Structure 1
Amino acid sequence: MDINLIEAADRRLEGHVRRTPLLSSPFLDEIAGRRVLVKPECLQHTGSFKFRGGWAAITALDPEQRARGVLATSSGNHAQGIAKAAAAHGVRAVIVMPSDAPEIKIANTRALGAEVVLYDRATEDRDLLAADRIEADGLSFIPPFDHPQVIAGQGSVGLEIAAQAQEEGVTEGDVLVCCGGGGLTSGIALALEARAPGLRPRTVEPEGFDDFARSLDEGRICRNPATSGSICDAILTPEPGRLTFPVVSRLAGPGLVVSEDECLRAMALAFARLRIVLEPGGAAALAAALFRPEEIAGEAVIAVATGGNVDPAVFRQALDRHG
């Protein structure tokens, strides 16, 4: 993995991806005690940054591989990104999703033309189900984060941040990233290393699912004791990726951890002050920027709002509790 792979993916994304802006609000700056810039990937195709990695991975396949189709495993955002990218290329997509994934994500994935295979997290082996379909149908596997081309596609976010931060006069500070397996964080880290070395990436995770923070602290990959049970479903993974962890451990600062209620509060504030809709996992970085000021360095902080595919009931909860 290097900047050349990211730049190549970025060129393939040109004309197909939304170049999301940096948003700000004086009200958020006042809460955080510093300047807060928000990168709203909730405005991306399919409502999250995952479209970038899906497009990069599918366009990197040779024609024969694409013709056979692709398979992905996902709780929803990667599923939708792969489904949309596959549909644009006339590629068959099979997505293995947990049955407890938000209904809106399952419905959206099907609406984009993908075949959805549901499984029970408690009783079924997702990887075994996926392996059986891959072998039976000759599909190419595109995992949600531990894949060079997926990481490269997500790294395009970092290229944009580097250029936009420079335009805003921000050359030093922390870039907070909602983190599951680390695909986005590692891609951003590699891009910033090459284009904006004064900006430091930081992982942000929900309490109880802070495998990356613990892994960075201990210098080895640590697993979460649970794989479900948080409203931040978009960023729940068992452990950091084998490809992503070495990159993040080399380039990122210490991991940050936020509560579910802080994510809900950040969702309400993002809607009230920026007029954007975030899901809990997609609001984790903004929550850290606003409510963990003592753990962040610099006069400005950049928070990547990674996704907006929120269940309506959860969004109502955020607004009712903190609106």
Structure 2
Amino acid sequence: MRPFSAPLVAAVALLAPSLGWAQSMTPTAVLTTQPQGGDTRARVVMDEASELTVDVRNNTSSGSPLFRRINEVWFALPSGYIPLASIPPPGWTVDYIASERWVIFYNQDSCNGSGDYGLGQDESARFVLRVVPPTSNNDQNNERFVASQTFARDTCAGGDFTTSVATSAASWSRSGLYTQVDVRPRVMGVGGDIDARMVVENRTGTNHNNTTVEGPSTGAGAVTFQVVDTEPTPFRMNIANRNAGVYSARVRTGSAGTLVARVRGVSGNGNTVSPSMDARMVNVGRSRWPWTWTPTTRSTTRPCGCGSR
């Protein structure tokens, strides 16, 4: 590989702002974790098979003499995490080194192919890591990949990338509560009632008192509704560690359309929450079938077939 002059690289870096380049002049990969559903940040659940979605973007300027493409990404999970079979994006494969908590993605494009390989300038790929996080007493809101062992690289031209694991955008939360919700019926007329049953599991290592359920709120759809009854009353429970609390709510619909109710569990002190969970869709004021059936009468008179006499 031809060596580059350090003064030349420094000079180009100084010129970059005046040239309007937003990218780095050294190989840099930007990691961004993605929230799911109604959450504002990415979340995984303690002691539960969870999916952590991470976008990786090549932030290296193609005008840099150090420009490289990303065709390999190594994620080093925090201590206590167990890697599971993960989902590679199209054109990538995945491998694991469980003893080091590494999840490794490889781009399948050939280094000697006719086209480009991997991720070029400002190109990104979305990686879904399936993991089982460890247990603690409360939510952990600053989870990060291991900085010294998480990196992207170009195995064709050679060279590793600096990764942005220290930024808040690359962090996520490890939740100690897990919520499930079921609603019935799922088809009704306007003014009908929906019964929602919510189960909040305490996955932490300690008890959580006065735990409640926020919602149901509208996750999707335009149906208006009003909560008319809840159990227990007051709507709070003390949930021991490794146990669950069962809550119910009756909701009265006020308009037609579709409704997806969204809920989440919250501990009494607010320090432990579950990811937001969406119920299955409810159809209000609409027929389940695109046609209607109108009964008709059928004659039961039998012709005599005897003709005139």
Interval of TM-score (by shorter of Structure 1 and Structure 2): under 0.3
Q: Of the two, which has the highest radius of gyration?
A: 2
Higher strand share: 2
* RCO higher in structure (CA 8 A, sep ≥6): 1
Q: TM-score, normalised by structure 2?
A: 0.25
Higher helix share: 1
